[in-house]
Amino acid sequence: MLKHTFRLIERMFHASYFDNFTSKETKSLKNLILFGSNWAYADLFVSSNFYLASKLHSLLIGTKMTISYLKKAKKTPQSGSDETRKIVADMLAKIEVGGEKTALAYGRDLDGYDGDAIVSAEIIAKSAERVSSQLKADIQFAYDRVTKFAEAQLASISEFETELSPGLWAGQKTIPIETAGCYVPGGRYAHVASAIMSVATAKVAGVTNVIACTAPNGKEGPNPGIIYAMNLCGADTILSLGGVQGIASLANGLFTGKPARMLVGPGNRFVAEAKRMLYGRVGIDMFAGPTEIAVIADDSADAAVVAEDLVSQAEHGPDSPAWLITTSRKLANDVMAQMDRHINALPEIARNAATLAWRDYGEVILCDTDEEAAQISDEYAAEHLEVHTKKDEWYTARLKNYGSLFIGEETTVTYGDKCSGTNHILPTRGAAHYTGGLSVHKFLKIVTTQRMTKDANREVGQAAARISRLEGM
């Protein structure tokens, strides 16, 4: 079967299925396949060459997908990964050896901050004074909804004990982790909402010690709104450290003496890579790198709304993918025609980021059927997925892989990102294939217990002995 599969794949290449895909990654993959690597098919799906994956998947299941790219990304979420890994590995190693002194040095060099790492009670109080009453009310609005949703999540899982057989009881307990490290981006933008999403959720879960960390804005230190939100949500310690040095400080317990058992929060590619490298030594929520959006839309969608929603995520950074999956060529053309206008209306920093993001990572995919659109969406496994169609209910039931789903044009990613209640710390780079977003469950250990009577002990012991002997023990 494997040889037959590779012969089919070989025919695909020789039949020029991929003439338009001549990247180094694609050529390397082609060589792996043609020379018979058993892992090439798996590697294909974890690379971010989603179109190539869909073509291969369609051939193997006997259904050729009739999709076309009206706009193809020049880069993938994996672009630049090797360089990122090298930089992050070097920083983590140096901080491991140099400790707090090295972490502070990185803060001075990269963020222009030479103050104390721990944000004092005095600075917290002054930060609150600098936040307007309206913003305080808005932060409270978001906090109330995020907390309410997290409480509902907590109520969805319970402890129990059940009698499996006479005299044998097995149970489930939920134990909050002791220390959580919550990273809140504060560089290009002040992500106040990330403080609420991470810190408030950890506290609802029952985490005893929450250490929050954010990048300082030069000599002024962290954004006052972020500090205010962290404190409101219950952070026990706030660190003024960003990027890799912030993540390393949380994991190593620098400045607090309390190593984080779980690292959570979004960040740029360096933050995401630092979390990935530290995983195993410490738990992480997921791979939460640069933000992504996919929109599934048909001829009933409003092109202006779709374009605006795509831009609202592309503005986050120059490496933020924005994908439109549609069954309507007219809608696709209308959206593409409007993108520059929406991007040019942004403030300078956001405009520059969105321009690069749409140029390098933006895609428009035309599908013949709703099923094809759903298949492509599931292969991309976008962090944020919006559905603007006449068949929203069908898509809601059919779609399987996404971080968070926004159904209908009345809702949008921005609402979820800021204040509607669901968590905005979500899987990126295909991680939605195997995990959901941040929730109270990420801060809980689901453990088991058992107890039994003497009679049950004899019954279970005899079976355990026979199984042990079968296993050679």
Q: Is 383 a known active-site residue?
A: yes
Cα distances (angstroms) measured from residue 187 to each of 74, 129, 396: 26, 22, 35
Among residues 384, 386, 388, 409, the one annotated as catalytic is 384
Q: Is 342 a known active-site residue?
A: no
Among residues 383, 386, 388, 424, the one annotated as catalytic is 383
Positions annotated as catalytic residues are: 383-384
